[in-house]
Amino acid sequence: MFGLMGKTLRVNLTEGTIREEGIPEEMARKFLGGRGLATKYLFDEVKPGVDPLGAKNKLIFMSGLLTGTPSPSAGRYSVVTKSPLTNIWSQSNSGGRWGVDLKYSGFDGIIFEGIAKDPVYLAIQDGKADLRDASHIWGKNVLEATGMIREELGEKFNVASIGKAGENLVRYAAVMNDLHRAAGRCGVGAVMGSKKVKAIAVRGRQKIKIADPEAFQKVSKKQFELLNESILGAGLTAYGTNLVLDMVNVCGGLPTRNWQTAVCPFAEEINGEALSEKVLVKQTGCFACPIECGRVSEIRRGPYVGKNGEGPEYETVGTFGAMCGISDLEAIAMAGYLCNDYGIDTISCGSTIAFTMECFEKGILKKEDAGGMEIGFGNAEAMLELVRKIAKRQGIGDLMAEGTRLMAQKLGHGSERFAMNVKGLELPAYDSRGAKITGLAFATANRGGDHITAYVQGPTFLASPFLVVEESEIGDPLQENPAEAKVVKEMEDALTVFDAAGCCKFMGMTLDAEEWSGIISALTGWKFGVEEFRKTGERIYNLERAFNVREGLTRADDTLPKRLLEDPLPEGPAAGHVNNLAVLLDPYYEFRNWDKTTGKPTAEKLRELGLDDIISQVCM
Ligand code: SF4
């Protein structure tokens, strides 16, 4: 097979067995790889209603179709499972080069099933895989665990690992690879911990076959040229993802003090420039990426001096900074380092801490509930202590490790109103009351409250070549515009292909469907046109939705926290605004050809996408 290695590993942890399986080419063409192929396995193999942390859930790692090839940013892999945070389909995606090394080891993916009796790690090298005892590594965090595994196997092994948070089943635990890169969202690290898998170490020199190397090189060269000329690329290179903080704040969309306002008064202290001045050491990037938006950083002053690592990314600054009311960039960087080492998603963690701070502000939680700790907005020391407590499930950290949805259900007293999650997944740092179309994207994203499923928030919106309506049809971001519902649908589909292909979504700001379908054609030898590109994304997206429908999800779940729907923003350019989803949801379902009452994909749509085999499970 071209592009893919054509093989997955099935690891039955209960029995301790490992089996190689082929990937049929017809299935590869329909679902490509990464998020697409992994979702196909999950849908077929995980029955509705299983416990996400039980033996019947599966944990699937899958590299993308282009991963490991010299196409720009083609270094990504996806982890797909049923989430313990949301109880629905979930995907988490990561860069670095672990996904590349997985493929070079001879396999596109790994399917974990069952639960191991004792902790194990999986080692794969050039087509051979074995499960090894990890009892001595269990209890270690990511940096130490990675070091110990490399000592055992050799420095050239690339390791994806969980830290203490995954072992302790923190519902938003991450899987970390390349030490600092995270498959962060939805608690995939907790599923790995529940299966008693500490890490996966990969190494190999297997070659990826390219159907038309000359054409591939030509298209790839053009893509690199386009990226090198792009303004967004230049901005990301200069300031990393924190580039957007000022832009979002100026639009009145930076959630501050747990979304009580969206204008951050101390943005200048935590923006891209401040990051460069205070903690930046150098920039870094993922495999084959000309942009290098990553930041290598070190704390140069204050109580955490000498601590270092990667980040902080925009979302880390937005959640631990603005949402928690903390202007101390060094403390924010420290929170990011802690999360990376414990293996925790910074978005859910920062957001859960901000929610907890508001519970204290409102008297719903008291000092006695936190072992005497003072917890309030702006308290950096408390924030860092809470990260540690969450990872270890100590004291109040045990409740916080459940995420904002379950916390609010337990605490009551109206806290559900400001538990800022959708379908259980904590929202990222963009206030959708300041950009209405973003509200629709948050409400409908298959994995829950998420910014990169459609990527239509704030300043990035107009930068995408995947826009499907005329610029003249895009109106005021503060008004609900039904035509823009089509943009959300098309962006969701297009970016699904990015995850299946194993490419970074930042490339979607510059390169269009024609360029991507050209490179897929050159790689695989398929005549993969723009129409097939779009249909493939739509097929995968509908399959994910079908998984969620089978789990009982309905239109009523495509909603936002009450604060966004009912509490007008108090200040800034979006003052007085709330989200009005009713205006946008009907057109969205129409564009998708989903039933407007139930939110289910129609039989007609599934048939059109070649998903006839699942109609009886979805459209009853
Ligand atoms: S743009 Fe950033 S996240 Fe994307 S591949 Fe490049 S370095 Fe990685």
Answer yes or no: is pLDDT of 604 > 70: yes
For residue 285, give the ligand 1 atom closest to its CA.
Answer: 7
What is the C-alpha R_g of the chain? 22
Give the strand order in the sheet containing 308-310. Answer: 280-284, 294-298, 308-310
Expressed in angstroms and rounded, the spacing between residue 165 Cα and the centre of ligand 1 is: 25
Q: Is the CB of 240 under 6 A from ligand 1?
A: no
Average pLDDT over residues 401-409: 98
Backbone angles phi, psi at 129, to 5 degrees: -135, 140
Report strand pairing: 128-133 vs 109-113: unpaired
CA of 73 to the centre of ligand 1 (A): 6
257 pLDDT above the threshold of 90: yes
Gap from CA of 397 to ligand 1 centroid (Å): 32
- From 69, 73, 239, 507, the mutation candidate for ligand 1 (largest count of ligand atoms within 8 A of CB) is 73
The reply to whether ligand 1 has any atom less than 6 angstroms from the CB of 285 is yes
Mean pLDDT of the chain, nearest integer: 95
pLDDT value of position 515: 87
- Please state the atom number of ligand 1 nearest to the C-alpha of residue 284: 7
Residue 21 CA, ligand 1 centroid: distance in Å: 31
User: 73: Cβ below 6 Å to ligand 1?
Assistant: yes
Q: Is the CB of 152 under 6 A from ligand 1?
A: no
For residues 429 and 432, what is the distance between their CA atoms, to the nearest angstrom?
Answer: 9
Q: Atom of ligand 1 at shortest distance to CA of 294? A: 7
End-to-end alpha carbon distance in the chain: 37
Give the pLDDT of residue 507.
Answer: 81
Which residue has the CA at smallest separation from atom 2 of ligand 1?
A: 293
Q: Is the CB of 95 under 6 A from ligand 1?
A: yes
Question: How do the residues of the chain divide into helix, strand and coil, expressed in percent and rounded to 5?
Answer: 45, 15, 40
- Residue 74 CB less than 6 A away from ligand 1: no
CA contacts within 13 A on the Cβ side of 183: 36
197 ligand 1 Cβ < 6 A: no
Give counts: helices (H), strands (E), the chain: 25, 17
Query: What is the band of 504 on the pLDDT scale with cuts at 50, 70, 90?
Result: very high
- For a pocket test of ligand 1, which of 283, 310, 506, 511 has the largest count of ligand atoms closer than 8 A to its C-beta? 506
Q: Which residue is it, tokens 């200040």?
A: 571
Mean pLDDT of 313-332: 98
With a 6 A CB cut-off, is 291 part of the ligand 1 pocket? yes
Q: Which residue has the higher pLDDT, 182 or 506?
A: 182
Kindly give the number of the ligand 1 atom that is closest to the alpha carbon of 290: 6
3-state secondary structure of 17: strand
Which tens digit of pLDDT belongs to each residue from 527-553? 999 999 999 999 999 999 999 999 999
Are 255 and 305 contacting, i.e. CB atoms less than 8 angstroms apart?
no
Residue 572 Cα to ligand 1 midpoint, Å, equals: 32
Q: What are 74-99's pLDDT values in tens digits? A: 999 999 999 999 999 999 999 999 99
**CA of 289, closest atom in ligand 1:** 6
- Beta bridge partners, 161, equal 176, 199
CA distance 16 to 131: 7
Q: Side chain identity at 405, as an amino acid letter?
A: R
Residue 33: what residue type? G
What backbone phi and psi angles, to 5 degrees, belong to 501?
Answer: -80, -20
- Quote the pTM value: 0.97
504 in ligand 1 pocket by Cβ < 6 Å?
A: yes
C-beta 502 within 6 A of ligand 1: no
- In the reported structure, the alpha carbon of residue 561 is separated from the centroid of ligand 1 by a whole-number distance in angstroms of 31
- Cis before residue 312, ω within 30 degrees of 0? yes
